[in-house]
Amino acid sequence: MTRKINTLLPGQAGRSALKLLVEVEFGVPSRQCVNYGICRIEIARARGRPKNSGCRKCGGLALAFTPGAGLLELAFLSASLSEQTRRQHFGQGHFLVEEAYPLPGFLYGSLGLPAAAIHRGRYSILDSEHFLAVRFLI
């Protein structure tokens, strides 16, 4: 059975008109994508397109959307996250961002946001059957 992705999204997600499927690599850009935070966000690649990172288990796929002013939500598809990634980045009950991450132009442009960054901090995780969602302050 197939279901529309909107019916699988957690909580208030249906309020945003546009959702983008993105690839997210975890880590801190200034530390070559190690530690905690967001190191890279790109449009999800087509089958066969090479990934820019050498790390195969350091991230996952997410739906990106804006649930309200000053917010960006990334709803990570649970099936796209390795067990190691789940434990390291989602296992403490919060998602840690050690260093601000400037949003790439395609993301804020497509979602109608001003140029912004994900702020440092600890963010709550909404865990549902198909997603691990994190709502970031931007």
State pLDDT tens for residues 68-104: 999 999 999 999 999 999 999 999 999 999 999 999 9
Contacts 24+ apart (CB under 8 A), 125-130: 125/90, 125/93, 125/94, 125/95, 126/10, 126/11, 127/90, 128/8, 128/10, 129/8, 129/78, 130/8, 130/77, 130/78, 130/79
Q: Compute the distance between CA of residue 67 and CA of residue 40 in angstroms, rounded to an integer.
A: 21
118 contacts 72 by C-beta, under 8 angstroms: yes
| pLDDT level of residue 45 (50, 70, 90 thresholds) | confident
- Give the pLDDT of residue 15: 46
Asked whether residue 16 carries a pLDDT value surpassing 70, the answer given is no
Greatest alpha-carbon pair distance for the chain in Å reads 43
Q: What is the pTM of this model?
A: 0.83
| Domain limits, the chain | 5-137
Asked whether residue 50 carries a pLDDT value surpassing 70, the answer given is no
